[in-house]
Amino acid sequence: MLVVVSLSAEQWRSIAAEKVLSLLVEEGAVTKPEMEAKLSEAPQHPGLRRPEPHHLTMARNRLLQAGEIVSQRNTTRGGRAVTTFSLAAGTKQADRAAARKRLLRSRYLSWSASPSEWVASCGPHQGVVTPPQR
């Protein structure tokens, strides 16, 4: 028999904060979409519930205000600004992880860009919007 326990919003935020901190210890740094995917959407053991994204947002904001985690918004070589989150007591591994996450997020955003954003960056067609190839 599966017993479902009802938790208050504050309890869910506490659970979410613990999960955010443990994810940052494990990964070093994460982006917001990655954090939500790994903590809210990933399959877990049956019977265990995952914190919803709004609880993660509240927990992340509280951790930022408390100074336990930091957010960094840096521009990649491709010119996209990407925000990563890491523990306040940063390490070289966390910095490298953040750089890698920014690169991956920027690459994903470039691949998923709408056709109106496809602009040649070099060659004779520089600055010209190129239609998608079909």
Please say whether the beta carbons of 39 and 51 come within 8 A: yes
**Per-residue model confidence as pLDDT tens for the chain (134 residues):** 555 667 788 888 888 899 999 999 999 999 999 999 888 876 665 556 788 888 999 999 999 999 999 999 988 887 888 999 999 988 898 899 999 999 889 888 888 776 655 555 555 555 555 555 55
d(CA 18, CA 16): 5
Q: What is the pTM of this model?
A: 0.74
So what's the pLDDT on residue 122? 58
d(CA 126, CA 124): 6
The structural domains of the chain, with segments of one domain joined by +, span 9-115
d(CA 15, CA 58): 11
Tell which residue, 49, 34, 55, has the closest CA to residue 100: 34
Task: Name the DSSP letter for residue 67.
Answer: T
Neighbours of 55 (CB within 10 A): 23
Tell which residue, 42, 73, 46, 75, has the closest CA to residue 56: 42
CATH code: domain 9-115 is 1.10.10.10
